[in-house]
Structure 1
Amino acid sequence: MIYNDTLPVRYPKGPFAMWTVYSFTSASILASIIFSLLLFLSIDEDPLMQFLFGGLAVIFELGKFFAWYEFGERRSRRNYTGAFSAFAFYTVLAAISIGGSIGGINSATNQAQSHVNVQQSKVTAFNMQIDAIEQQIALNNVAAEKYIQMERIATGVTRIQKENDKLRHQQQELAMQRDSLPVVSQGSVLGLIDSLAKSLNVQTQTAQLGLVVFLSVLLDFFAAFFVGLIGEEQRFRHQFRRMNPITIDAFDNEPHKQPELLTDMRSDTADKASTVSASGNSEPEVAAEPLTPYEQVFNALNENKVNCTKRAITRFLKMSSEEVDDIFKQFMEEGIVSKKPNNHYQWHGLQES
C-alpha cells in the first residue's frame, strides 16, 4: 500500500490490465470503423468513389476518438474553453459515426432478414398452390352432387372422381416439395427483434430501428470510455512518477539500520566534567545510557523522521503495537500529541513556556 500524507494512493495499472484496455479499445474502434464503412461504401458503386468515401469514414472515426482524448487532456489542464471546443468537435463526428453505425448494423440485419423472407415466400407459394387445388376439389364435389341429382353417375361422377384423384396426387407432391425445403434458422438478433416487437406492442420495423440505434450509441460510448480511460491512466502515471510518493513497504525492502542512540542535552556538560576528571585520574569514561522507547519515539517524531501514525512508528522503530499504544497514550496525556476528528494523530511537540 502506498501512503502519501497518511492517505492511501493507488498504484498505476499493471501490464495485464493495460493490455486488456488496449484490446477492448482497438476492438471497439475497429467495429465502429467497419460499420461506418458499410454505410459509406454503399453510397456509390464506382471503385474510386468507394475508396474516397471509405477513407473519409476512417478519418471521421479516428478523428472522433482523438477529439475525445483531447477533451480529457484539456479538461485535466482546466482549459475549459479548449475542452468545450474539443467536445463540440467530438459531438459532430460522433453523430456522423452513430449514423454510419446505424446504417451498417441495419444493413446487416436486413440482409439476415432477407434470407428468412426468401424461404418464407417459397413456403407461402406452395401453400397457395395447395389451397387452390383444395378449392378446385371442393368445386368438383359440388358438381358431382349435381350429377347425382341428375342421375348421371356413370358419365359425370366417374370423370370427376378421376380428376379429384389427380388433384389429390398433385397436392401431395406440392406438400412434399414444401416440406423438403431447407429450414432457415432464425438468428438470435431476429429473435430478439421479434420479442421486442411483441413485448412493446410495436411493429417489427420499429423494434429493429430501436435496437439498431441502441447498439450504435452503445458501441460509440463504449469506445469513447476506453479511450478516455487510456488518457486518464497516462496522466496518472506521469503524475505518479513526478510526485514519487513514499511507500511504507519500502522500509521492508531496504536493509533496516539500527537507530542511532541520541544523547541528552546535558551530555555536553557531562563530557566536559569527564574530561576534567580524566586529567586527574585514569578512570575510564562512562558510556551514555541507551534511550528508552519513549525517548526514541519522541526524537523520531520531533525530527520528522516518520509520520505521526502508530503503524509508521511500529515499522520504523521495530516496536510492538502494545508498546506504541502505551507511548501514544502518554503523549496524549502530556499534550504532545492530539487526535483529530478523523482519528489521525497530530504532533505538537513540547510547548515552550
Structure 2
Amino acid sequence: MLYNQDLAVRFPKGKFAMWSVYSFTGASILASIVFSLLLFLSIDDDPLMRLLFGGLAVIFELGKFFAWYEVGERHARRNYPGMLSALGFYLVLAAISIGGSVGGINSATNKAQEHVNVQQSKVNVYNMQIQAIDKQIALNDVAAEKYIEMERIASGVARIQKENNTLRQEQQALAIERDNLPVVGQGSVIGLIDSLATFLNIKASSAQLGLVIFLSILLDFFAAFFVGLIGEENRFRHQFRNMEPLTIEGFSPAESATAGLLSHFDDTEIVAEVEKTPYEQAIHALSSNRVNCSKRAVSKHLNFSSDEVDDIFKKLFDEGIVSKKANNHYQWHGVKETEAEPEADLV
C-alpha cells in the first residue's frame, strides 16, 4: 500500500497531550489578560471608564491570539500576503499586550517591595536613635575629660558617668525593640531582583525593569507557541482523516479470504503505480476512493507538485470526469466502465 511519508512518522496527539496543551494555553492567555487588566484599569477611577478600559484589554488580548492563529492558517494555505497582514496586526497587539504585562507585573513587584521598604524604614529610625545616643555619650566623655583636667572629678565626672549609664540603658532598650520587630519575608522576586542587581552591578530598579520586560515577553511567546500548536494540530488531524491509508479492516468479510495474498498484491500494486503516468495514478486513486476529490489531497497522497495537479484536474474537468460545485470544490463523477482500468486478479 501507499502511505504518505508524513503520516508514516506521526499520528495525532492523544487526549492527555491535547488537554495539557489546552490547559497551558488557557492559563497563559488568562495570565496575560490579568496583567493587561492591571494596567488598563488603573487609567481611570470612574467605574464606567474602568469597565470600558477593561473590555478593551480583553478584546486586545483575545484578538492578538486569534491573529496569531490566522498567521498559521494563512501560511498553511500559502496565502503569504494575508499571512503578513495578520502578522503585522499581531505584532501591534502584542506590543500593547507586552506593555500591559510590564505595567501589571511591575505594579505587583512594587507592592512587594513596599512592604520591605516600610519595615526597613522602621529599622532605620531605631538605628538613627541609637547613633544619636552614641554621639551624646561621646560628647559626655569629652566633657568628663575637661572636668578631670579641672580636678572636679567628684562633682562633674560622677554626674556625667551617671548620665552615660542612663543613655547606654536607653540605647540597649532601643536595640532590643529594633531586633524584636517582626521580620518581613523577602519574596522570591525581590530576592531575584537584588541578586541580578548585584551580579550585573546595576541599580535594583534597572534590574527590576529588565526582569519585568523579560517575563512579559516570555509570557506572550509562551501563549503564542501553544496557540500555534493547537492550529497546527487541528490542520494535521483534518489531513489525517482525509488521507487515512486503506488497511485490511477496510475489506469486506468475503474479501478477507484473500488476506494471505495481500503482501504479493501490495508489491504488485506499488510497481504498477510507479509505471503509470501521473494522470493514470490520479484516476486510480480517485476511482478507488483512496483520496478525496481535491487538489491538495491528490498532491499530498501522490506527492505531486502543484503544477502537475493543476494539469491533471484541468484534463479531468475537460473530459467531464470531475465538475466544480457552486463553492468551487471539485466533484468526482467517475469514469466509464470502458475507461476504468481492470482490477488485478488476486487468484
Fold match (TM-score > 0.5):
yes
Give 5+ residue unaligned stretches, structure 2: 275-347
Question: Could you say which residue in structure 2 is the equivalent of 1:302?
Answer: 268
Question: Could you say which residue in structure 1 is the equivalent of 2:222?
Answer: 222
Tell me how far 1:299 sits from its aligned partner: 6.3
Distance 1:104 1:161 in 2: 58
The yes-or-no answer on 1:134 pairing with 2:134 is yes
Change (3 A) 1:13 1:137: same
Alignment of 1:184-195 (within 5 A): 184-195=184-195
Distance 1:260 1:227 in 2: 44
Counterpart residue identity of residue 198, structure 1: T
Question: Could you say which residue in structure 2 is the equivalent of 1:267?
Answer: none
Question: Could you say which residue in structure 1 is the equivalent of 2:182?
Answer: 182
TM-score, normalization: structure 2? 0.72
The yes-or-no answer on 1:171 pairing with 2:171 is yes
Distance 1:62 1:84 in 2: 19
Query: 2:193 touches 2:204 (CA, 8 Å); kept in 1?
Result: yes
Question: Could you say which residue in structure 1 is the equivalent of 2:24?
Answer: 24
Distance 1:128 1:33 in 2: 45
> Deviation string for 1:115-135 (max 9, x for gaps)?
111111111110111011011
The yes-or-no answer on 1:106 pairing with 2:72 is no
Aligned length: 272
Change (3 A) 1:82 1:124: same
The yes-or-no answer on 1:54 pairing with 2:43 is no
Change (3 A) 1:306 1:182: farther
The yes-or-no answer on 1:124 pairing with 2:124 is yes
Tell me how far 1:301 sits from its aligned partner: 3.5
Change (3 A) 1:3 1:214: farther
Tell me how far 1:298 sits from its aligned partner: 5.8
The yes-or-no answer on 1:13 pairing with 2:24 is no
Tell me how far 1:49 sits from its aligned partner: 1.3
Question: Could you say which residue in structure 2 is the equivalent of 1:71?
Answer: 71
- Quick one: percent identity of the two aligned structures? 69
Tell me how far 1:302 sits from its aligned partner: 3.4
Distance 1:204 1:225 in 2: 31
Counterpart residue identity of residue 41, structure 2: L
Tell me how far 1:57 sits from its aligned partner: 0.6
> SS in structure 2 opposite 1:186?
coil
TM-score, normalization: structure 1? 0.71
Question: Could you say which residue in structure 2 is the equivalent of 1:351?
Answer: none
Distance 1:115 1:107 in 2: 13
Question: Could you say which residue in structure 1 is the equivalent of 2:91?
Answer: 91
Tell me how far 1:305 sits from its aligned partner: 10
Query: 2:2 touches 2:270 (CA, 8 Å); kept in 1?
Result: no
Distance 2:153 2:269 in 1: 128
Distance 1:86 1:114 in 2: 42
Question: Could you say which residue in structure 1 is the equivalent of 2:279?
Answer: none
Counterpart residue identity of residue 76, structure 1: A
> Deviation string for 1:148-201 (max 9, x for gaps)?
111112221121122112111111111111011011121111111111111112
Question: Could you say which residue in structure 1 is the equivalent of 2:208?
Answer: 208
Question: Could you say which residue in structure 2 is the equivalent of 1:4?
Answer: 3
Larger Rg: 1
Change (3 A) 1:118 1:46: same
> SS in structure 2 opposite 1:11?
coil
Counterpart residue identity of residue 141, structure 1: D
> SS in structure 2 opposite 1:120?
helix
Moved over 4 A (4+): 296-300, 303-308
Query: 1:301 touches 1:307 (CA, 8 Å); kept in 2?
Result: no
Distance 2:26 2:247 in 1: 35
Query: 2:70 touches 2:83 (CA, 8 Å); kept in 1?
Result: yes
Tell me how far 1:146 sits from its aligned partner: 0.7
Distance 2:182 2:122 in 1: 11
Tell me how far 1:222 sits from its aligned partner: 0.4
> Deviation string for 1:19-49 (max 9, x for gaps)?
0000000000000000001111111112221
Query: 2:43 touches 2:50 (CA, 8 Å); kept in 1?
Result: yes
> SS in structure 2 opposite 1:259?
helix
Query: 1:6 touches 1:307 (CA, 8 Å); kept in 2?
Result: no
Tell me how far 1:259 sits from its aligned partner: 3.0
Query: 1:3 touches 1:9 (CA, 8 Å); kept in 2?
Result: no
Alignment of 1:236-315 (within 5 A): 236-247=236-247, 257-259=256-258, 301-302=267-268
Distance 2:270 2:190 in 1: 69
Distance 1:85 1:212 in 2: 29
Counterpart residue identity of residue 90, structure 2: Y
Tell me how far 1:246 sits from its aligned partner: 3.3
The yes-or-no answer on 1:115 pairing with 2:81 is no
Query: 2:40 touches 2:53 (CA, 8 Å); kept in 1?
Result: yes
Change (3 A) 1:255 1:125: farther
Give 5+ residue unaligned stretches, structure 1: 262-292, 309-353
Distance 2:137 2:147 in 1: 15
